[in-house]
Amino acid sequence: MKKINIGLVGFGTVGAGLLKILKDKRSLIKEKTGFEFAAKKVCDKDFITRRPIKLDRYIKTKNVNDILNDPDIDVVVELVGGIHPAKEIIINSLAKKKHVVTANKALIAQEGKDIFKAARRYKRNIYFEASVGAGIPIIKTLRESLIANKVDGIFGVINGTSNFVLTRMSEQECSFNSAILDAKKKGFAERNPSLDIDGIDTAHKLLILVYLAFGKLFKMEDIYIEGISKISLADIKFAEELNMVIKLLAIAKKEGVALDVRVHPTMVPKENLLSSVSGIFNAVYINTDLMGDLLLYGQGAGALSAASGVVSDLIDLARDLQSTSNTFSERLFLRKPLLQKLVKISDIQSKYYIRFMAIDKPGVLARISGVLGQYGISISSVTQKGRRRAKIVPIIMLTHEATEKNMRLALERIYKLAVIRDYPVAIRIEKEL
């Protein structure tokens, strides 16, 4: 039986969950894989905060070099998060001839090229299953199960915090701010949840999926990112009346010889399976040429879910150590991009839901529709709700397909009309769903 010694950097929620799984499932893992995993050293700044597992004193350290310089450690598990010092820890681990497992989506998305180069240079592996969807095996599916497939599109609800907020607003009929406070109380949102609600976390994960599916690691600034902070309870209710649900959607799909990659709130029809993904759950919907449509669904956050993904990587590593073929990192780096050009957000075509807050007086609808018509935007339906305070009413419009550029120009013009109060809210309706 092969024993794999682990150096764990980061003894937080996921790190503690990992050690708990390795302890509680030790016999099961040995029986299924023939490998035994042991934490030889654990590095963290804080060993005072209580965790669900106790550590022997001799394996604790506050100096990461105790792990990097230990010749008996086979793999470093990095769970500190962020870019620095995580990048330096990983590259130094590879240089010290240690394999690496990480759950750090921001690092892989933004610094993946450097890390993969280092892994190839030092002939060591790096695994990152838990970086997207925690324990949901989306990365393994893309790199192994769908190896003979061409992926045409990926649509994902892959941020638990944003999904919880939107679900809470719908189920409890509460405001955005109230839902955020509830998410914080339940531990589903950070004290500063901007990375989640602004779509940054979703974008990090999407870039990783795009790389695995299409072979190109794009930069964050290359893609369009929009969060959910402008979504109101009124929009949630109107979506319900239209038999749709609002989700923060990650989108990557082929458009001819280019890729359309973006993150933004999207109206999802209720007949689509993604509409039923609620709370902190995640789901990734994949369109392929051979397998057709696939949906991977599961808990996308939490100590044990993310730790389960890390364990999966450790087992893959153990098996790869017995293989004579190229390492996973070499296969990643040697991939040739299938598509390298991105569709500009201004060039996309979509149907739109638009909410205007307007003064309730004759001729308002004609003025709004007139501007839309000037930009070639055709209206499919209009709903005007009853009068509210100060005679301001919501006007809901659904459009036929229009270009993003024309929609933005039209909304800017309409916002300047004297009868309009507040900037119009426009939510795209994804035509592929």
Q: C-alpha distances in angstroms, 97 versus 78, 79, 90, 428?
A: 15, 19, 11, 48
Closest CA relative to residue 295, chosen from 133, 160, 415, 159: 133
Phi, psi of 149, rounded to the nearest 5 degrees:
-100, 150
Report residue 427 as tokens. 């939510």
The one catalytic residue in 40, 96, 205, 247 is 205
Residue 17: count of CB within 10 angstroms of its CB: 23
71 class by beta-carbon count within 10 Å (0-12 exposed, 13-18 middle, 19+ buried): exposed
158-192 per-residue burial string, b: 16 or more CB within 10 A, e: under 16: bbbbbbbbbbbbbeeebebeebbebbeeeebbeee
Closest CA relative to residue 338, chosen from 423, 221, 256: 256
Report residue 410 as tokens. 């039209």
Annotated catalytic residue 205: yes
List of E strands, 73-113: 75-78, 99-102
State the Cα–Cα distance between residues 201 and 199, nearest whole angstrom. Answer: 6
CA angle, residues 288, 292, 298, in degrees to nearest 5: 85
Catalytic center residues: 205
